[in-house]
Structure 1
Amino acid sequence: MTANAATGLSARLQRLGLLRAGPRTLAPQPRVEVSRDVPGVVEVEEGQGSFVLRTCRHPLDYVHGARPLGDALAVSARDVGLATRRLDYAEVPPDRRLYLDTETTSLSGGAGVYVFLVGLGRFEDDAFVVRQYFMRDPGDEGPMLAAVARQLDEADALVSFCGRSFDVPRLADRFVFHDRDVTARRLRTLRHVDLYHGGRALFGSRLPDGRLRTYERRMLDVHRVDDLAGAECPEAWFGYVRGDENRIAKIMEHNLIDVLSLVGLEERIGRAFVAPDHPLTALATGVLAFESGGKTRAACHLVPAARRVALDGAAPFPLLLRAVRALRRLDETAAAVTLLGEMVTAVPHDTRGWVQLAIVQEHTLRDHPAALASVDAALGVTSAGGNAIAALRHRRRRLERRLASGSAGLHTV
């Protein structure tokens, strides 16, 4: 098949939806240098090529949003690891943690996607230093990755936001493409604290979505001005390759703020374990502490929060049910009943709260009339069928038998 025939066939298959269009390719263009108007930019020679490096040094008292960057050094790394399911994060010294954010030529991934900007932040002595490795065109990629690899060699942990699913796979693919398999394996196996998961665990029930910008506005008091949206960065870079450097400074600034916000969000997550600012956050910290074996600490968070929480129609039931189970295991029945009462009051049409309340009333309080009333409430609002409705009816028959035999006891807490 000739090249023209193959091209024509590919185009027809793409139109029919039988072949996905590949990533954008780059026609050769004269190299456009990054303007010296971008502060901190230098060209770095590496091997047989070069790339652009921008270094931004921030003193520890530099305020990003509402708090100095240095405050992140004061929070417990164990608590941050607890929220992100990486308890071994506490073993990593601050200067061995690498804060990672990348910009790529496509947000969807796939073969041929370039990582054209790698932002790496690190605490060094009395400052937080961000180094931005910029690829002016594909010829810069090998030298740029060689420099990034050296930074990875000096790190024992990565800190990112959605980096497990986005930044690391794409960057590892580029290392493999350049026959740097050892670096790719190291990148994939480094301890990785993904703050997206920690933020969702602690604050997700209070936020409309899980975007970094939402955390910035609502939790960090960071308000970007004239920022280039992340989705616009790929097109801005392609524009740069075609000769338009007007938005390169904005790409770099966008990436820089992303890296600084990683530090801010890490501090905010760690601080939540010491001074939670909302009952739902206190419930979340208590649940995480309980599930990791810290029962005393869990009770300190869960019991007061269960008594103070006020729910609405958007109650986060998965978190609340985990909190109820933890309270029951801690023998904090009164707090569990208080929380369940709030749940069924706020969302009476959700059977999960009624069922859990009935379980506590029947098996812990031995208050069978109250348990029967809760089961009836669940039956009155359920739209489920099959096993769920059968289980409720079975529970109801058992309670009726106990009441009929005079075995019911009324107990209060």
Structure 2
Amino acid sequence: MQIENSFLPVDGVGEKTERRLWKHGITHWDEFDGSVVGTTLADRIESFIRDGRRHLECGEYTPFAQALPAASRWRLYENIRDDVCYLDIETTGLNADRHAVTTVSLHRRGETTTLINGQDLTAERLQTELDDAAALVTFNGQRFDVPFLETALDVDATMPHIDLMYPCRKLGLTGGLKPIEKELGIAREQPDITGRDAVRLWHQYERGDDAALEKLVRYNQADTVNLETLMETVSNRLHESVFEAACNGADSRV
């Protein structure tokens, strides 16, 4: 599913109205003809489509992300899949005013980069990595990773953001990243350690244990790389449950 299949960002269009459009064969912006909905709403949809085409031509996805609920931002994925940045961070605690970012892993186009506190993790370097991406994909990053980075490193991370925790909930997948991975059968090569273990490993590294840092980096990278598999799985399931179900005349399963 691409953003051109969506009418949900339009003011006044909810999921029920969008499903009605799809069931009547209006499954793409190109197919909208003003029927099915009233005149006022039709005018809004036509205005949205005009603006939306201009945004897509310019590579601007922020207006769509801002207009979509967090649980529905997965709809952007097919448009920008080659330019998303999967991000996960490790810290020494939960308070960005008192604790530090230890590692930041970024996975994009099949390559993973990990920035390490005291080595190459700087605001300038991280900002360059963020600016080079069309969108961020995280798990619980909307509430934790992004605000923490903005506070601790003063970076600007206001680009479109797909926080997979919310579309996972739409599919009935609750809990943390690792339990969801297990439920979906997503393998994890690295040892299953906790956030508390990650803090311990960092402090061991500060005391001179380089092996502890290597283990922490592998753990951080595994979280980040697995986000890509989770993104693919979740977007495929929601495409089927939300879009294909409605186009085939069935009630949405989510």
TM > 0.5 fold call: yes
- Native 8 Å contact 1:220 1:264 kept in 2: no
| TM-score between the two structures when normalised by the length of structure 2 | 0.66
Which residue does the alignment assign to 2:113? 131
CA gap 1:272/1:167 in 2 versus in 1, 3 angstroms: same
Query: Aligned partners of 1:301 and 1:121: how far apart in 2?
Result: 36
Query: Aligned partners of 1:246 and 1:190: how far apart in 2?
Result: 35
SS at structure 2 position matched to 1:170 = helix
| TM-score between the two structures when normalised by the length of structure 1 | 0.42
Larger radius of gyration: 1
> Superposition pairs for residues 289-304 of structure 1, below 5 Å?
296-297=246-247, 299-302=249-252
- Native 8 Å contact 2:96 2:152 kept in 1: no
CA gap 1:235/1:120 in 2 versus in 1, 3 angstroms: same
CA gap 1:226/1:129 in 2 versus in 1, 3 angstroms: same
2:134 equivalent to 1:159: no
Whose RCO is larger (CA < 8 A, sep 6+)? Answer: 2
Runs of 4+ in 1 over 4 A off after TM superposition: none
Correspondence for 2:218 among 228, 232, 253: 253
Deviations 1:27-50 (A, max 9, x none): xxxxxxxxxxxxxxxxxxxxxxxx
Aligned residues: 192
2:165 equivalent to 1:196: yes
Deviations 1:238-287 (A, max 9, x none): 12112222321211111111111111111111221355xxxxxxxxx34x
- Native 8 Å contact 2:190 2:218 kept in 1: no
Correspondence for 2:72 among 62, 85, 89: 85
Identity of aligned residues (%): 26
Query: Aligned partners of 1:235 and 1:202: how far apart in 2?
Result: 34
Query: Aligned partners of 1:156 and 1:172: how far apart in 2?
Result: 18
> Superposition pairs for residues 275-314 of structure 1, below 5 Å?
275=240, 285-286=241-242, 296-297=246-247, 299-302=249-252
Query: Aligned partners of 1:87 and 1:212: how far apart in 2?
Result: 17
- Native 8 Å contact 2:74 2:162 kept in 1: no
Q: CA-atom RMSD, angstroms?
A: 2.9
> Superposition pairs for residues 5-404 of structure 1, below 5 Å?
76=1, 78=3, 84-86=71-73, 89-90=76-77, 92-106=79-93, 108-123=94-109, 128-136=110-118, 140=119, 144-176=122-154, 184=155, 186-187=156-157, 189-204=158-173, 209-224=174-189, 226-275=191-240, 285-286=241-242, 296-297=246-247, 299-302=249-252
Shift of 1:226: 2.9
Gaps of 5+ in 2: 6-64
CA gap 1:91/1:211 in 2 versus in 1, 3 angstroms: closer
| Amino acid corresponding to residue 116 of structure 1 in structure 2 | T
- Native 8 Å contact 1:92 1:157 kept in 2: no
